[in-house]
Amino acid sequence: MDWFTEFLPRTPERLSIWIGVICTLAIYSLLYRENPFYRFFEHMYIGLAAGYSLGPLFVDIIYRYWIEPIWVQGYWAWAFVVPYGMYLYFIFSERYGWISRIVIGTLIGASAGLFFQEFSSRYLPQLNSTLKRPLWISSANPDITGWDVFVNFLFIAILISVLTYFTFSYEQRGVIKRTAILGRWFLMIGLGAIFGNTVMARMALLIGRIYYLLNDWLMIRIGGG
């Protein structure tokens, strides 16, 4: 009986947990079939998510980077940024829609300009690391074993064959075609690894939810370790 009295939503803490459980079960009711209960909570979810984002957007960004610098510190030139950004909101207008593209152009231009740095510090070190792999045993790298040399050859062979598969500039024939087929098989290993990990992630999310139902709501204590 103790468990049951504790289980009921009689304190604010328990009531909060019950609210969370009702939300969860409402969403799960979709698994049985589409129903008004689910639709209600689905719309509530979208409304809450959209409403919540205004807090961080307004306070963390607009207050921090616009209101405080102008009104508190007196940097008046910032005043022009928000009206300029507001051009974005003309996107819904048929007549003035093109004006929003000026601001979109600013964002796109900036990310395109930034990409050069990304290219040099994200992709080039990977090329460097590939080219630096030792392919024979020598006095220059005494720690390298025969197995390491094999693994390095395999690494480069896989890389080249997959890149061959990605090459569409000319018709693939003969050796190139066979390399490309091999590349496709290796690509499947990569995709298999991604698939296995994806299943693991999705299961973890469901387990997290079931843990909440069991541990927090039904108070079945599930220990770790």
Partner 1 sequence: MTPLTHLIAQSIWRLPETLSKDQRYLYASLIVLGAFVLVLGLIPVLQTLPPRGRRAVIVTVTFLAGLFFAAEFFLPVDWRSIFPKDDPTRNFLTPAIQPAQNVLQIIGALALGLGTYGLVRLHLRNVVQKRTQWGYSVVLLVAFVTMATFSIWNTLAEKELVKKTPFVERGFSILFDFTLVQLDAAMFSLIAFYIFSAAYRAFRIRSVEASILMFTAMVVMIGVVPLGAYISYTLLGLPQGPAPADADLWTRILHSAGLPTIANWVLTTLNAPVQRAIEFGVGIGGLAMAIRLWLSLERGVT
Partner 2 sequence: MQPQTIWQRMLSIDRRLLYLLLFVNIVAFLVAPIRMTASISPPVQKFYDEIEKLKPGDLVMISSNWSASTLAENQPQLEAVLNHLMRKGVRFTFISIEAQSRDISYRLAERVTSAAGYKYGEQWAHFGFVPNLTVAIKGMVNDLPSTIKQDVRGTPIEKLPVLHGVKSLRDYQMVIDVTPSNTVPVWISYSPKELRILYCPTSVMAAEAYTYLDSGQIKGMITGAKGAQEYEQLLGIRGLGAPFANAISFSHVLIIIFILLGNFAMLMQRRYERREV
C-alpha–C-alpha distance, residues 17 and 216, integer Å = 7
What lies within 8 Å, CB to CB, of 70 at 6+ separation is 76, 78, 79
Tell the residue number behind the tokens 């006095």, with chain if given. Answer: 139
The interface mask with partner 1, positions 166-205, x = CB under 8 A, is x----------------xxxxxxxxxxx-xxxxxx-xx-x
Dist CA 169 CA 34 (whole Å):
48
CB 8 within 8 A of CB 16: no
- Position of tokens 């999705």? 202
Considering only residues 49-68, where is the footprint of partner 2 by CB under 8 A?
49, 52-53, 55-57, 60-61, 64-65, 68
Residues 81-110 that bind partner 1 (CB under 8 A): 81-92, 95-96, 98-99, 101-110
Positions 98 through 127 that interact with partner 2 (CB under 8 A): 110-111, 114, 117-118, 121-122, 125-126
Compute the half-sphere exposure of residue 105: CA atoms within 13 Å on the CB side of its CA.
7
**Site residues for partner 2, window 159-198 (CB under 8 A)?**
190, 193-194, 196-198
Give the residues lining the site for partner 2 (CB under 8 A): 31-32, 49, 52-53, 55-57, 60-61, 64-65, 68, 110-111, 114, 117-118, 121-122, 125-126, 128-130, 190, 193-194, 196-201, 203-211, 214, 220, 222-225
